[in-house]
Amino acid sequence: MEPKEDFRRVEEMNLTPVTEIDIRGLAEIYDQLDVYLSVYLPTASRDDEAKNRAFVDGRKRAIEAALPSDQKECFRETMAIVDDLLFEKPIPGERGRIVFASAPASLLAIYRIGIEPVRAMVLDTSPFLLPLAKLRDDYSDYGVLLLDSKEARLFCVRSNVPQEMSHLSTDLMNKHKKGGWSQMRFNRLRKGAIKSFLSEVVEDVQDSCSRHQTRGIVIAGPGDAKHQLVEMLPAEMGKRVLAVVDLPIDAPGKDIVEVGDEIAIADERARSEERAEELRAEILKGGLAVRGVEETRDALNSGRVGVLVLLKDASMPGWICERCQALEARRRPPPACPSCGGPTSAVDVVEELYELALRTGAEVEFVEEDSCLASGEGVGALLRY
């Protein structure tokens, strides 16, 4: 098939932070037929390629067998677009690849990412976004400020890749030559110089944080300067400090990410638990919350959901009407939609609820485990009203 003129092609030859992928834009796309192919492949280790080939081959055969005969050709055309791209040699630092493609809908988007996704290959009426959404939840960007009393390096860690945003340093000893001064005077001057250096760093961090959306910032370094700096931060910035930790000033990127990730993931877990707790409290007092697939679906449809709360492993078979978007859980798709007669297809209801949340501007929070949520099929929502 000749690509149409409005063929949408995104191919990043650099590592793309998962937070930079236009997931809302992707959530807007859907078709009445199963024309969107989504593929997630790990690419970090040497034997991944052989495993990916075997996996894609198996999925390709299974999908083709399940498709009605008039849609098989379209699927083959889509596969022809992505075939080589899926197995291309990974670029430096690449640990995973995400591909969304459709020949009939003229879409091809390839992202190389610095984190490892779980293998998946799905053909559906819209791009399959849940795996990407979970990665974004775990790997939101955060800052790391690494400093001592004369040097400061500010990093933004995006999908496990540290990017150095700025590097400040000062030469305390040369500015204040010791010659002729008393030890006391020298110490006083040195303290003053450190303080003015740290104020410069505070300004730099503030400036950077106002330009980048991050989960927060980790303050790291070898000595006492980091504590001194934390005390100098304005209250607003202080709230964004995730942790203060010991780290050598010349720590390599790998160590920065290792220390930072542990802190960032712990922060994510704590936030998720808070949301789950909030949901439980609201449900217990009959407040602004719902639980279970049907109630959550209805709340999403009426635009009342502020935060969709999902258990990470929640999944529920069901069907959707491709015309009126009627959504029903726990049933096989009827031959035609009972309300509008439109075509139906089998879906994961949780994926549909997630897409609905994105389209209606709701926040989404993934929770590792929670008994209250689990008893509501892993799905619930905090309501705006």
**Closest CB 335 distance from Zn ion, rounded Å:** 12
**Closest CB 62 distance from Zn ion, rounded Å:** 28
Name which of residues 270 to 329 contact Zn ion (CB under 5 A). Answer: 321, 323-324, 326
Name which of residues 319 to 358 contact Zn ion (CB under 5 A). Answer: 321, 323-324, 326, 337, 339-340, 342
CA distance 325 to 319: 9
Give whichever of 72 and 323 is closer to Zn ion, judged by the CB atom. 323
Give whichever of 131 and 343 is closer to Zn ion, judged by the CB atom. 343
- 60, 113 contact by CB (below 8 A): no
Give whichever of 59 and 323 is closer to Zn ion, judged by the CB atom. 323
Number of residues that bind Zn ion (CB under 5 A): 8
- 92, 58 contact by CB (below 8 A): no
**Closest CB 304 distance from Zn ion, rounded Å:** 22
Find, among 286, 315, 320, the residue nearest to 301 by Cα: 320
Name which of residues 67 to 106 contact Zn ion (CB under 5 A). Answer: none
Query: Who contacts 334 (Cβ-Cβ below 8 Å, separation ≥6)?
Result: 319, 344
Q: How far is CA 377 from the centre of its chain?
A: 23
CA distance 25 to 359: 9
**Closest CB 333 distance from Zn ion, rounded Å:** 11
Give whichever of 286 and 335 is closer to Zn ion, judged by the CB atom. 335
**Closest CB 314 distance from Zn ion, rounded Å:** 24
Q: Is 35 in the site for Zn ion (CB under 5 A)?
A: no
Find, among 326, 129, 148, 333, the residue nearest to 229 by Cα: 148
105 three-state secondary structure: coil
Residues engaged in binding Zn ion (CB under 5 A): 321, 323-324, 326, 337, 339-340, 342
